[in-house]
Chain A
Amino acid sequence: MNHSPDARRSLALRRTLVLRWVGVHALAVAAALFFVLPFVFVLFTSLMSDQQALTRDLIPHTWEWGNYRKVFDTPGFLTWWRNTLVYAGLGTVLTVASSVPVAYALAKFRFRGRNLSLMLVISMMMLPPQVVVIPMYLFWAKQLDLSGTLWPLIIPMAFGDAFSIFLLRQFLMTIPNEYLDAARVDGCGELRTLLRIVLPMAKPGIAAVALFQFFYAWNDYFGPQIYASENPGAWTLSYGLESFKGAHHTDWNLTMAATVLVMAPVILVFFFAQKAFVEGVTLTGVKG
């Protein structure tokens, strides 16, 4: 064959490109397997019979969809769902409502102590909840008699959450001051400016904060363990899942079905709100 040097070079180039494409995608597929297979195994096991779940089989012989019914029929499971929704839902609303004004002040007001406040917000954001848990527990349990409920976890959210404040502040910083000045010139007070101008522009940021907060409450294990453990009627899914395993010892199929049911809502919410979520992660990169 008589290829011109040019054609030969482009052929070589194309070959390297193809090779690189294959290499990169093979690697990506391998990585994808690492990330996805655990889900697959969990899902398969959740559909096995209790006998098969203890064997080394990877794929169910018979597909036991009834396992999921059994999980729902477990006393308490629906209560845990309800509690989780209350904790996550109410907590999210309160957090957003209380954090937006603070973030706005930190982003757009000039006042003495602003930098200090921001530093304190960041410090609080990095504070492990266990640092202050002893006095807080005594406060909620002994002063207010609220142990055995989720209120000690929900009420503080009405007073601003450091992470949400920080994330919102980062977002609000990106809104040009000209918009605000224009509103102020039009005679809007700060509150009106915030509600009319800033809020609509900050929707993606608020959505991200709301999602993070929702997930935080959904995933929280330490909080319910401390405040709700003695009252099964106040457990959340994350906390209840553990005791579910305790009560079902080696019924791994049921435990895995319950695990799927705890994971599924989070993943569904993610698919509906993927954009806001990824934006939020990129914006701060902290926590989640």
Chain B
Amino acid sequence: MSTASAVVTGLGVVAPNGMDTEAYWTAVLDGRSAIAPITRFDASRYPVSLAGEVRDFTAKDHIPSRLLPQTDHMTRLSLYAADKALADSQVDLGGLPEFAAGVSSASTMGGFEFGQRELENLWSKGGQFVSAYQSFAWFYAVNTGQVSIRHGLRGPGSALVTDQAGGLDAVGNARRQIRKGATLMVTGGVDGALCPLGLVGQLTSGELSTSTDPARAYLPFSADADGHVPGEGGAYLVLEEAAAARRRGARVYGELAGYAATFDPGTDGTPRTGLERAIRRALDDAQVRPEQIDVVFADAAAVPDLDRAEAEALAAVFGPRAVPVTAPKNTTGRLYAGGASLDLATALLSIRDGVIPRTPNVEACAPDHPIDLVVGEPRTADIGRALVVARGRGGFNAAAVVRRAS
């Protein structure tokens, strides 16, 4: 396997606070949150009633009729984001060899809304009323399949299911495929399960905020943190072999310079050290020292114990309060695999524009978290390298370093 560089040449964002990259980025810089009462269904009797919904998406405006009966909402959002990313990259896929381009996506929940509807059909009407498309529409890997078919991406195809960490694991895997010979990978994640079945599934984590005040419901690293809010959306990226991108004169957002994943033991009481190891290995992989990282996009669970573990891991690697840390994901809600992919896109936009978005609604970092949390206003800074951190339920940790293209 080579050590070819992989660069990001296209971004496709679909977020509750922005239906494309620039709208989302503007909202993030303005600190504009989309967290609000759930409208997709009557959530008034559920303990969690807030979410970050993508409200401006009309499926039939973006998705071919042939695909509507066979796709869950999150697949439609995936197709939309992948379309945007490919258009942004301006690549001519037809000019590539047949198996040179592939798809590596991540999904945390799969197609719950579709699945719930078909389960309701099964139990209330009978098996004859279950859609034949249920066979794949609910499935975690379906986004990779549908994106691949739509764009004729017949190279490597894979799907990762490691919760929020998956949004980085998918991109790390895409780089691996490029090093094994692929020219281009469409990669990232989109999640969305804001239906009763999906919400009930998410409730089992015990990590969702039950606040009914959108401004108070998702306060990572705050002394008032009481959990996160679910959201839907994410991002797809076009990752390209650097030399190929250069040859076609592509605009480059940055390089995926480092990536690592680790796994923590289960709930047996063993100290969780995996996050720190993942960060150190990602830095090593990028061949950078901690002091060369200009900003960290945090996992930011807003669960006090998890915030503490993350803050301590960051302080162990970088020193206490030695690097700016931010979590603009509290403007979208936690997007699971989609969240980490979106953080990668956000990090690349930070590099592009020389600005670190703030973590809105948080007035101050809790004093016992030894990190420099960016609150109040965005910070202007020359950003050459950014670290993105993600954790998934069940012990998954991932870290990625992106840097300005040389």
The answer to whether A and B belong to the same complex is no
